[in-house]
Amino acid sequence: MPRADPGRWRGAARECRRVPSYHGDVATSDPPAPAASGKGTPAGVPALSTLDRDDLLRLLDDLGEPRWRARQIESAVWQPFITELAQVRQLPARVRERVDQRLRFTTAAVASEVAADRGATFKLLCRLGDGQTVETVAMESRARGTSGRRATVCVSTQVGCAVGCPFCATGQMGLRRSCEAAEVVDQVRAAAQVLHRHGLGPVTHLVYMGMGEPLHAYEATVGSIRSLVRSAGISPRRITVSTSGVAPRIERLAGEKLPVTLAISLHAATDELRDRLVPLNRAHPLEELLGAAGGYAEITGRRLSLEWCLIGGVNDSLEQAAGLARIARRLRAHVNVIPMNRIEGSPWGPPDPAAGRAFLNRLLAAGAVVTVRDTRGGEAEAACGQLRAALQRRRHLLPDGTLGPPQRRAAG
């Protein structure tokens, strides 16, 4: 049964969205994560979030410390008030110092926090060890159909993105680099701490819908999911990975035995239009993408989502709606329609309400299961990539992507 109410054009569900630009070339392999990050730590220093137990034990052996200290160190990872090893009081100062030199306690620090949605959404700019910044969003909401709460964190997997969708702010930046797995896990830790500070959380759901293409940062994506499942106890079923359609990597992901939900950012039902909206389509056209997505659903048993950023006069025709409904039927997928969030430098925007309703009606008439999403948090520079862009305009963000000193407001 169709579930969307086309009258409720600006829907209730909140999601992390984003925005940016046009880069014709498409990266086909993981751009490197940095060799090092952290406060002046040397290259190759392991990060606690992704260190496995054996490596931690080896490190303690090297330092001549008892192995039971491993549990003290690990238990600090998800403590809401501990942001550095120096705060782990069970550890003697001598041990804290020595361990601190050998591993990075965290790789992502909150550099800016903007609240939205009456204090239920927090848009964070996280500073990584090399000074680059990524956006992370923490959202608290009521769990659908229950009285319980859910807290969702939306993470970034890259600084920028090489795909260059012309409606997306992150694409406008181009690609600086991919994140490390620990940098993704540490965004979740930072967001969990912010939620906790505001009396919200714990984190129950994760979405890989922040800056970047998660399947171009494959190691960071799969590595962070494994760490988060293991150390934060988040079920893969509560994790959604959104992709612009890197078909070979979808096939690889299907073999990882990690039944995460896959969201395909479709945005167009014909190759002609999709080549323009998602330039990656030129490398992996629709038939290849739909084949890989169908295979993913079959192997993992997970229902797919199809994302559709609805752009007035661009992909809101009834023909596109009919094509989308056909694809949704073929893949037995849920459809998420997201009215486009305006971005600087693009003339495009959401359709007018009548065109939006007509598009939804056409989908519903064809039997599609549809949700309309609203980014919310307009005050918080809603879509991913936008907060960063806004800070850049205010010159908090330096041209090389690192964060500069906060600007003083003019008096008066």
Residues of this chain, 224-263, that bind ligand SAH according to CB under 6 A: 242-244
DSSP 269: S
135 is catalytic: yes
> Out of ligand SF4, ligand SAH, none, which partner does residue 277 contact, by CB within 5 to 8 A per kind?
none
Member of 231, 244, 341, 375 binding ligand SF4 (CB under 6 A):
244
Closer of 105 and 208 to ligand SAH (Cβ): 208
Stretch that binds ligand SF4, among 81-89, 102-110, 163-171, 282-290 (CB under 6 A): 163-171
Residues of this chain, 193-212, that bind ligand SF4 according to CB under 6 A: 212
Distances, alpha carbon 219 to alpha carbons 51, 134, 182, 280, 375, in Å: 15, 17, 11, 19, 28
Cα-based angle 387, 278, 4 (whole degrees, multiple of 5) = 75
Give CA torsion, residues 353, 357, 358, 360, to 10 deg.
140
| E strand spans, 219-333 | 239-243, 261-265, 305-310
From the candidates 65, 135, 140, 180, which is the catalytic residue?
Answer: 135
Distances, alpha carbon 41 to alpha carbons 32, 92, 99, 109, in Å: 18, 21, 12, 15
Q: Per CB under 6 A, does 381 bind ligand SF4?
A: no
The answer to whether 47 and 186 are in contact (CB under 8 A) is: yes
344 is catalytic: no
Closer of 190 and 384 to ligand SF4 (Cβ): 384
Task: Give the C-alpha separation, 128 to 107, whole Å.
Answer: 6
> Out of ligand SAH, ligand SF4, none, which partner does residue 307 contact, by CB within 5 to 8 A per kind?
ligand SAH
- Nearest-approach distance from CB 22 to ligand SAH, in angstroms: 12
Residues 6+ apart with CB under 8 A from 142: 148, 149, 150
- For the record, the structure tokens of 304 come out as 């797919």
Closer of 160 and 201 to ligand SF4 (Cβ): 160
Q: Which residues are catalytic?
A: 135, 384
Give the binding site for ligand SAH (CB under 6 A): 17-19, 161, 167-168, 209, 213, 242-244, 265, 307, 309, 338, 340-341, 343, 383
* Binding-site ranges for ligand SF4 (CB under 6 A): 18, 20, 161, 163-165, 168, 170-171, 212-213, 244, 265
